[in-house]
């Protein structure tokens, strides 16, 4: 009813299987983060190595084209 204190959830204790599951999820998240970091590093390296468009040394109006 209105004015009653909220019902508290019972405190859940972690059991071994819960901890094992959390550790496995953390391991997979760490591996995924490392993979994404490697991918990012590859993309940045590739981007820096690609040929750049060089500025023209002569004017397009010179008729040397």
C-alpha torsion 34→25→8→10, nearest 10:
-150
Q: Both ends of the chain: CA-CA distance in Å?
A: 87
| Tens digit of each residue's pLDDT (9 = 90 or more) over 5-25 | 777 776 677 788 899 999 999
Alpha-carbon radius of gyration of the chain: 30
**Residue 39: what pLDDT?**
97
Residue indicated by tokens 């204790």: 13
**Residue 63: what pLDDT?**
59
| Tens digit of each residue's pLDDT (9 = 90 or more) over 36-54 | 999 999 999 999 998 877 6
- Global pTM? 0.54
Q: How many CB atoms lie within 10 A of CB 41?
A: 10
Written as six digits, the tokens of 43 are 């993309």
């Amino acid at each position: 009813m209105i004015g009653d204190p909220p019902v508290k959830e019972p405190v859940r204790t972690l059991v071994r299987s819960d901890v094992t599951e959390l550790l496995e999820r953390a391991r997979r998240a760490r591996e995924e983060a490392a993979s994404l970091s490697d991918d990012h590093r590859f993309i940045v390296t590739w981007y820096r190595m690609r040929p750049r468009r060089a500025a023209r040394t002569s004017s397009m109006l010179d008729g040397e084209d």
